[in-house]
Structure 1
Amino acid sequence: MDIQKYDQERPTLVNSIVCAIDILGFSQMINTSCKEGYGSTLLREVNYLINKNKECIIPNKYSHGKIKIFTDNMVVGYPITGDGERELEEILDNVSEYQFNLAIEGLFVRGGVSIGDFYINEDIVFGPALLDAHKVESTLACYPRIILDEKTIRTLKKHIKYYDVAPQATKVLIDSDGQWFLNYLNTIFRYYTQCNNEYEFERVKYELLLKHKTKIEEMLHMYKQNIRVWDKYVWTANYHNYFCDIYFAHEKDLKIHKNLLLSWPREIKNNDL
């Protein structure tokens, strides 16, 4: 079976799995940092984090995926060979890891995944799969989640049916609005190979989730007066708590307190007058 690639000399559309990702609130971060005099500092920090973590998208020389980053947007494409199971697995694993690594640094992303004709090189990204992935990101993702479109869901369902216990099943969740999204917190279970023993693995998982919790709480406090943005981090907090309930039910300190997730009314005070 011929391996599909993006021909850098003779551009040709290739059937691909494509993911479009956007950093949440990045425009506001730019405006605020430049007005308050730390724009260059933010630029260096974001440049470092993105370049450090983009390696997990194309982790080795055997991957035929390509990546393009411009300001707060990233597009990644994997040319499909065969039934696309390996390429979709790369999206589920590698993009989730990228999303998780940025989240624990305080950069939350949303995105969309689609399947179709696509091309990418150093200068251009092109094709209907890009448009579809971007449409899902801009119209359906809404919260810090990476959504699978209907074509991707149909493909994933076929792959899941191959198995009695499908390895993909825990890597995607179905939200209350019916959207399928990457379960990026599942990334913590991939750290096992980097640990010396089970005790160290448990400690690493705990510390990573604690970092995730801390960053969400920072965002909830930061945007308390901006209800539209605050609501996005309420969603993220609920996702975090759901994950902890499933896998760390006895670690109560990993969960975000419900008081941070509610907007309580209050009586009028003298200083309100």
Structure 2
Amino acid sequence: MSVKKYDAEKPNLVNSIVCAIDILGFSQMIVDSCRDGYGSNLLREINYLINKNKQCIVPNKYSQGKIKVFTDNMVVGYPIDDDGEDELNEILENVSEYQFNLSLEGLFVRGGISIGEFYINDDIVFGPALLDAHNTESTIACYPRIVLDDKTVKRLKKYMDYYEIAPQHQLLFVDTDGQWFLNYLNTIFKFYRECNNEYEFERIQIELLLRHKEKIEEMLKVYKANIRVWDKYVWTANYHNYFCDLHFPNEKHLKISRKMLLSWPREISLKDF
């Protein structure tokens, strides 16, 4: 049986796993940078970061996955062979790593994942799975999270039923609104290859979580006066704190203070005039 792929010569819809990703606040970054005279610098920085980190999404020449980037948006498609479990696992792990890497640079993303008919080449992305993934990203994700749509969750539950402890279990969390989303901080457990011992492994994990914490705290301060955007980073902080409680309960310094996540009223003072 031939491996399914996106044929550049004869475009044809292929049953696929599709992820649509958007960088939070990117439009405002463009406006601010061009107004303040550093637009070209931002362009070069974003271009470097996206090109550097997108390599983890399609990690080798044998993968049939394809990527298309336009401005602050990215679409990733993996054609499905057999029952699709391998492809779904690959996109969950690789997109999580991409999301994690960008978060350490202060770029937080939201996205949607769907399953269905899809096609991608150098010039076009097309198909209902793209529309479903984009709709999930734009109307359901809301926060810096990559959400699986109902079709994807249904498919994933079938895979997970095969196992006593499913390999996908650590890759996902369920939010208070019932949405399944990528647990991208789980990426820190992939760095064991770089470590010589268990102590070194934990040291790297803690350093990465501290960097993630610092970037969230930075965003909370920047958007303190913009409650709509600030609330998105409150969500991210709560996710960060939950992950730390789950895996590093004794490392209290990893957590973001609750004082930063609440709105505190006060009396009017001279500084208000």
TM-score (norm 2): 0.99
CA deviation after TM superposition for structure 1 residue 81, in Å: 0.3
Q: Does 1:58 find its partner at 2:58?
A: yes
Equivalent position SS for 2:162: coil
The answer as to 2:230 corresponding to 1:230 is: yes
Is the contact made by 1:2 and 1:81 (CA closer than 8 Å) also made in structure 2?
no
* Gapped regions of structure 1 (runs ≥ 5): none
Aligned-pair Cα RMSD in Å = 0.7
Counterparts of 1:118 and 1:270 in 2: how far apart (Å)?
A: 60
The letter for the 1-side match of 2:38 is Y
Q: Corresponding residue for 1:74?
A: 74
Structure 2 residues without counterparts, runs of 5 or longer: none
CA contact (8 A) 1:113 1:136 kept: yes
Q: Alpha-carbon deviations, 1:205-255, whole Å to 9, x = none?
A: 010000000000000000000000000000000000000000000001100
* Deviating more after overlay: 157-166 vs 230-239: 157-166
Aligned partner of 1:156 in structure 2 is 156
Does 2:124 match 1:124?
yes
CA shift at 1:62, angstroms?
1.7
Q: Which residue of 2 aligns with 1:38?
A: 38
Question: Quick one: distance in 2 between partners of 1:126 and 1:105?
Answer: 31
Q: Which residue of 1 aligns with 2:14?
A: 14
The C-alpha deviation readout for 1:88-119, integer Å capped at 9, x for no partner, is: 00111000000000000000000000000000
1:271 CA drift (Å):
3.8
The total of aligned residue pairs comes to: 273
CA distance in 2: counterparts of 1:3 and 1:147, whole angstroms? 28
1:73-152 equivalences under 5 Å are 73-152=73-152
Secondary structure, counterpart of 2:78 in structure 1: strand
Distance (whole Å) between structure 1 residues aligned to residue 170 and residue 86 of structure 2: 16
Shift of 1:269: 1.8
Tell me if structure 2 keeps the 8 A contact 1:102–1:108. yes
Report the alpha carbon displacement of residue 61 of structure 1 after superposing the two structures with TM: 1.4
Which runs of 4 or more aligned residues in structure 1 lie more than 4 Å from their structure 2 counterparts after TM superposition?
none
Cα separation, 1, equivalents of 2:271 and 2:245 = 41
Look up the equivalent residue of 1:270 and give its one-letter code.
L
Same amino acid, percent of matched pairs: 74
Q: What is the rounded CA distance, in whole Å, between the counterparts of 1:233 and 1:272 in structure 2?
A: 26
Please name the residue that 2:172 is paired with. Answer: 172
Q: After superposition, what is the alpha-carbon deviation per residue over 1:36-77, rounded to whole angstroms, capped at 9, x for unaligned?
A: 111111111111100000000000112100000000000000
Q: CA shift at 1:2, angstroms?
A: 2.8
CA distance in 1, matches of 2:256, 2:2: 49
Q: Distance in 2 between matches of 1:271 and 1:73?
A: 41
Question: 1:220 & 1:166 partners in 2: Cα distance?
Answer: 35
Cα distance in 1, alignment partners of residues 255 and 157 from structure 2: 31
CA distance in 1, matches of 2:235, 2:169: 21
Deviations along 1:145-166, one digit per CA (max 9) or x if unpaired, are: 0000001001110111111111
**SS state at 2:18 partner:** strand
TM normalised by structure 1 equals 0.99
- Give the SS at the match of 2:105: coil
